[in-house]
């Protein structure tokens, strides 16, 4: 009994010492961030994060209101962890272009069980090594090979819409399956038809784990792995992660079995000629087998990361773009006219060069990504002291949330910011804009490695859909309800009318 009391005393003593050191470490941050304006605290201990304890759509509206009320920077605090919310393009540039601020914040701990510390979540030398391995996978010579896959999968998506076009279609689930299939076949060399049990389970697990991660994000104390132990969804999350990891390991194993035969140059597999022209998963396998710069777990981290990022962000972007085109017939018609000019025949499949020529389509996609950036906020940990554009000092290690959605809707940068206007992205209209005022793919050293891939996929999909349908509005920018999530989403999906185009 005496021994147990002594042990309890020692444990308690070290816990008190640990929290004292923690509080001492953050005291400077609390002091400096206390000078920032922001929503008032509901609780002196928990901070003002409780003001975000609401439905996802309510949180989204609150964040937008605070961006207007407290521009250019405001503070949020959860328990002893303060954060600065960044809104001005000058501060975006100073943070994102400085390699000292390259480390992601603790928000990304949410993803560690699933994605590990891959390209999205890692930092330091590990991030630099992974980026170096993967960059050649997005060379234009690789991307050219993917256009055929984009066109083939678009044809399958079009067939699905043709079977259901007698009534408005809720498009998000169909678009998600389309982008999952394209990332699987292009980056992983694996066809996903979602007919086998494992593939269906994987698709469902992706949807379910997104819901759990959102729950943790909205209950911010659960971001910590230690506190997440008490989450009511912890066991379910572990089961889903196991399902996701089993699937991706199977993909890697199957690809590794056939990898060697693709090393010899052939006309059929020209994409695999030369080490620097390998597709993503093959680059990772080469790095493991020949260079020893990554192991099996590392490959799994990157496959999981790109399966998630490569489909979810593009799915959201394509869904919003189609909704906007349905609501703006004049823009839709101009894109179709451009397709006829470039392709000659509206039903001709576009090549890589064709897609590069479609400048008006590109402007329309850029404007859609301005209004609805798939990644609506990112978060960094400051690597050194930082002074904001309005002169406030943030100490090293401060968490900064960079709100891309609010940056894109700043009326001082984009007059009439809710208006859909592709002409904003004519070169002459963009050249005087702050270079960090438009960041759908982030910027600086940690910009999105797959942005060219995403733009080509979006262009190819929109071309294929508009070649076959006139899009009619059902949901509108005014009727959809946006919600806080890891990727920008709507509360109830997106519905569009598809009218078959007369040939």
Q: Write out the binding residues for heme.
A: 448
Q: Which residue has the tokens 């996802």?
A: 56
Whole-Å CA distances, 48 to 27, 83, 103, 426, 490: 17, 11, 25, 42, 26
**CB atoms < 10 A from the CB of 252, how many?**
22
- Distance between CA 278 and CA 269 in Å, rounded? 10
- Distance between CA 481 and CA 489 in Å, rounded? 8
End-to-end CA distance of the chain: 87
- Distance between CA 437 and CA 443 in Å, rounded? 10
Q: What is the DSSP letter of 104?
A: B
Q: Which helix (H) or strand (E) holds 289?
A: none
- 332 contact partners, CB below 8 Å, separation of at least 6: 325, 326, 466, 470, 471
Strand partners, 117: none
- Distance between CA 176 and CA 183 in Å, rounded? 11
Is the separation of the CB atoms in 72 and 88 below 8 Å? yes
């Amino acid at each position: 009994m005496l021994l147990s009391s002594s042990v309890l005393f020692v444990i308690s003593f070290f816990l008190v010492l640990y929290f004292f050191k923690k509080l001492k470490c953050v005291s400077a941050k609390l002091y400096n961030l206390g000078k920032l304006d922001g929503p008032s605290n509901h609780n002196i201990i928990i901070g003002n994060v409780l003001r975000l304890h609401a439905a996802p759509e309510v949180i989204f509206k609150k964040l937008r209101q605070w961006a207007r009320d407290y521009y250019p920077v405001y503070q949020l605090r959860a328990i002893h962890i303060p954060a600065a919310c960044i809104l001005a393009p000058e501060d975006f540039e100073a943070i994102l272009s400085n390699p000292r601020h390259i480390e992601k914040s603790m928000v990304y701990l949410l993803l560690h069980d699933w994605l590990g510390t891959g390209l999205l979540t890692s930092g330091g030398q590990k991030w630099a090594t992974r980026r170096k391995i993967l960059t050649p996978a997005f060379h234009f010579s690789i991307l050219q090979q993917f256009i055929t896959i984009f066109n083939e999968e678009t044809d399958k998506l079009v067939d699905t819409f043709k079977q259901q076009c007698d009534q408005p279609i809720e498009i998000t689930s169909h678009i998600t399956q389309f982008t999952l299939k394209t990332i699987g076949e292009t980056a992983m060399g694996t066809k996903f038809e979602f007919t086998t049990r494992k593939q269906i389970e994987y698709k469902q697990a992706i949807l379910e784990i997104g819901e759990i991660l959102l729950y943790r994000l909205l209950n911010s104390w659960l971001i910590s792995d230690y506190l997440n132990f008490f989450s009511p969804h912890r066991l379910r999350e572990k089961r889903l992660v196991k399902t996701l990891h089993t699937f991706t390991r199977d993909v890697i194993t199957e690809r590794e079995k056939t990898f060697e035969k693709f090393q010899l140059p052939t006309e059929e597999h020209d994409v695999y000629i030369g080490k620097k022209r390998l597709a993503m998963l093959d680059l990772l396998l080469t790095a493991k087998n020949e260079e020893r710069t990554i192991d099996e777990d590392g490959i799994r981290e990157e496959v999981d990361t790109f399966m998630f990022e490569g489909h979810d962000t593009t799915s959201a972007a394509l869904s919003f773009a189609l909704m906007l085109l349905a609501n703006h017939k004049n823009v839709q018609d101009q894109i179709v006219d451009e397709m006829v000019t470039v392709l000659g025949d509206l039903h001709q499949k576009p090549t890589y060069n064709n897609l590069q020529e479609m400048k008006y389509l590109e402007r329309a996609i850029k404007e859609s990504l301005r209004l609805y950036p798939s990644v609506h906020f990112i978060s960094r940990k400051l690597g050194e002291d930082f002074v904001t554009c309005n002169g406030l000092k943030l100490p090293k290690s401060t968490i900064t949330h960079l709100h891309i959605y609010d940056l894109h809707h700043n009326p001082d940068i984009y007059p009439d910011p809710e208006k859909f206007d592709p002409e904003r992205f004519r070169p002459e209209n963009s050249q005087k804009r702050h270079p960090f005022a438009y960041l759908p793919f982030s910027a600086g050293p940690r910009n999105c490695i797959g942005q060219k891939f995403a733009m080509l996929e979006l262009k190819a999909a929109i071309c294929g859909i508009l070649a076959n349908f006139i899009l009619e509005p059902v949901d509108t920018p005014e009727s959809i309800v946006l919600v806080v999530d890891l990727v920008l989403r709507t509360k109830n999906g997106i519905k569009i009318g598809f009218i078959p185009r007369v040939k």
